[in-house]
Amino acid sequence: MSATVIDGKAAAARVRERVAGGVAAFRARHGRPPGLVGIQVGDDPASEIYQRNKQKQAEDVGMAARRLKLPGETTQGELDALIDELNADPAVDGMLVQLPVPGQIAEPLIAARIHPDKDVDGFSPVNVGRLVRGEPGLVPCTPSGVMWLIREAGVALEGARAVVVGRSLIVGKPMALLLLAENATVTVAHSRTRDLAAVCREADVLVVAVGRAEMVRGDWVKPGACVIDVGMNRRDDGRLCGDVHYAEAAEVAGSITPVPGGVGPMTIAYLLANTLLAAERREGDEPTGGIV
Ligand code: NDP
């Protein structure tokens, strides 16, 4: 193996440390901690674990974190009413609704209902618009975390060829916009892309967010490239793996994220960073430096 392994666990710990410092300063200034609320609708076991992790990590950095669990048969109107209440609550700086939601709830309506300044997932149309326009807003957590990893890996983005595989609203599209903002030349590939392997081979920075186990093979990777694997897939033997064939790609890449322990830990770290930023903006503070 020749590639440098990008350690997302250690990087996430560094982000959390900075956030914890910012939270302590915020508490000292305002006499209250930044407040985060996570809403879960229904009993999805994976959502339960994610929500618990988010609450625990938020508390660990000194935030006030609440989890609200609604029954699976909650209506859109009931959820809207709760979101409105939290939008108006001065102690709440950030909120999110854990996805997926049951069929009677429409995700786009949730994204549009949460006040953009409390939308710590960065999914609201206003925050998407701000990202496209290059204006300050709240940016989705996973791509923000990826940008930190790329920066720490010492990869120069200006003028580099970046390929993002996947075009979801949560990962692929915001990822492409963030890379573009750093002056990379960005290609977004997807399920209809012709000769995906050849497109990937052009990438100095290859970000893969597809959800297909080990789809990207070693001979899809340009020698020396930085390979970021966002995918999280469960193999038949129960083990987690990414969208990139790690052993093969690591022989060719210059740097690479493992799965688990790569991008995954950065996502919650950036949820905390966004919550701190939202709180600071709501209070008119100068944002804690060096995170977003
Ligand atoms: P989506 O299912 O929303 O999007 C997947 C994207 O991959 C789509 O744009 C789709 O293209 C594209 N795609 C599907 N099949 C292919 C193919 N054969 N070749 C090229 N492109 C293809 O997924 P997400 O973006 O939400 O998530 C992607 C992966 O990242 C998942 O494994 C998910 O678990 C993981 N993830 C990890 C996170 C973390 O914290 N580490 C956070 C979020 C996601 P098209 O648009 O044409 O259908």
223: which strand partners? Answer: none
Single out the catalytic residue among 51, 93, 98, 204. 98
Q: Hey, whose CA ends up nearest to atom 31 of ligand 1? A: 211
With a cut of 80, say whether residue 292 has pLDDT above it.
no
Q: Select from 63, 84, 225, 209 the least CA-distant residue to 145.
A: 209
Does residue 7 carry a catalytic annotation? no
Domains 30-115 and 141-264 share a fold: yes
Q: Select from 98, 105, 109, 87 the least CA-distant residue to 39.
A: 98
Q: Which residue ranges make up each domain of the chain?
A: 30-115, 141-264
Which of 168, 170, 214, 274, when mutated, tests ligand 1's pocket best, judged by the most ligand atoms within 8 Å of its CB?
168
Averaged pLDDT, 233-252: 95
Which of 142, 187, 230, when mutated, tests ligand 1's pocket best, judged by the most ligand atoms within 8 Å of its CB?
230
With a cut of 70, say whether residue 1 has pLDDT above it.
no
Of the chain, the percentage scoring pLDDT greater than 90 comes to: 97
Q: Read off the pLDDT of residues 78-102 as tens digits, 9 standing for 90 and up.
A: 999 999 999 999 999 999 999 999 9
| Identity of the amino acid at 246 | Y
The CATH homologous superfamily of the domain defined by 30-115: Leucine Dehydrogenase, chain A, domain 1 (3.40.50.10860)
Q: Are strands 233-234 and 240-241 parallel, antiparallel or unpaired?
A: antiparallel
Averaged pLDDT, 128-136: 97
Fold classified for 141-264: Rossmann fold (3.40.50)
- Using CA atoms, how far apart are residues 20 and 254, in angstroms rounded to an integer? 32
Average model confidence (pLDDT) for the chain? 97
Averaged pLDDT, 164-169: 98
Averaged pLDDT, 140-147: 98
